[in-house]
Amino acid sequence: MKQLSGFEPVAHSSLGLVTTSRITFKGDNYILELESGDTLSPVTVAYETYGRLSRNKDNAILVCHALTGDAHAAGHHTGEPGEKPGWWDLLIGPGKPLDTDRYFIICSNFLGGCKGTTGPTEINPATGKPYGLHFPFYTVKDMVKVQKWLVDYLDIEKLLAVIGGSLGGMQVLQWTISYPEVVAGALPIATTARMSPQAIAFNEVARQAIMSDPQWNFGLYEPDSQPASGLALARMIGHITYLSEEAMLKKFSRRFINGKNRGYRFEADFQVESYLHHQGSTFVNRFDANTYLYITRAMDYFDLHADYGSLKKAFSGCKSSFLVISFTSDWLFPEVCSQELVRALRMAGKNVSYCNMDSDQGHDAFLLPGNRMGEVVSGFLTRVQNEF
């Protein structure tokens, strides 16, 4: 099938209907020892797969999602009019860069999520109630350990590639370090080896927005009455960091909601305000407040410098080929973060390519059409597959 020239939208429902599967890892062989010192068992993982695993099991690609993503990366669950496809449907499907006619794609909701994998919303076997804030703290390394359980369950000894953006890119980096023999190609996109103080600060303000909501009730809220105002505000704060000034100017400028007239009110008056309110209100309907607290803290704790002594030491045992991608307008994880990764990989003697994509879309560019990331990814995967 013809390869797409770039990161372009394709026909609706190109993958058709897909389903989410679940596997529960339990028993003495599956007691998850967390970096925090706590243990967790059993652990259920929600995941989706697309395409077919080759006879030699050498075409598997693991997709790692970002902060508020999930296992549903492509295709549709119902096929009803207006249903949104999976979060990376632009990239995954027949003839797309992650070509399901060539590759077997795996995407799981990571540990601590709220879309089917064990996390704060799931039932604690010890109490019969949701874990809430009794859920143990976990890290990116813990997420990757659970993903490895899933890959082993699928009877795959080596992954052709691991790919992900933002927090997904952190998981990619950790995969190459924790399981160097398993990953042939690594594609960390719009990511960093450690969060900057500014990024941690934004996460903390978002968490405080949630915890300051009276409905939060120290994490003891009922599932149908979570701290909606606080969670919506947290999403609004986060969403500002995902865009760029150029993107906001192009999309909203200083336009008012009601034409050119000032409303002289404190309710949303500018289009950009209305957009942020919409993002916040829709987010409350699909995400959990306690889960947001845990995931943002896991991002804060990710620090390859501190964990391994230096980035060069962190990557010294890696055996993967790398393609590092950044975006010119990403100010959350700016290009300097990716360039730091590339320098460390080269100092460690690793095979690494780097592409800084020209985009005005900000941090979220890896999720959006309008750039040529897809063909860069496609070319890298073809090269790794030929070498593999």
Distance CA 264, CA 280 (A): 23
Beta bridge partners, 162, equal: 62, 186
DSSP for 199-266, written as a single string: HHHHHHHHHHHHHTSGGGGGGT--TTS--HHHHHHHHHHHHHHHS-HHHHHHHTTT-BSSTT----SS
| Gap between the Cα atoms of 208 and 323, Å rounded | 36
Q: Six-digit token pair at 280? A: 């916040």
DSSP string of 164-213? EETHHHHHHHHHHHH-TTTEEEEEEES--SB--HHHHHHHHHHHHHHHTS
Cis check for the bond before 334: say yes or no (omega within 30 of 0). Answer: no
Residue of 65, 72, 76, 363 with catalytic role: 363
Concerning whether 305 is annotated as a catalytic residue, the answer is no
Identify which of 269, 249, 253 has the alpha carbon closest to the alpha carbon of residue 261. Answer: 269
Instruction: Write out the two tokens for 351.
Output: 């095979």
Active site residue 360: no
For residue 250 the two structure tokens come to 């192009």
166 in active site: yes
* The one catalytic residue among 14, 166, 320, 338: 166
Cα 357 to Cα 370: distance, rounded to the nearest angstrom: 11
Q: One of 330, 359, 360, 364 is an active-site residue; which one?
A: 330
Distance of CA 239 to the CA centre of its chain: 14
- Complete DSSP assignment for 56-68: TS--EEEEE--TT
Residue numbers annotated as active site: 166, 330, 363
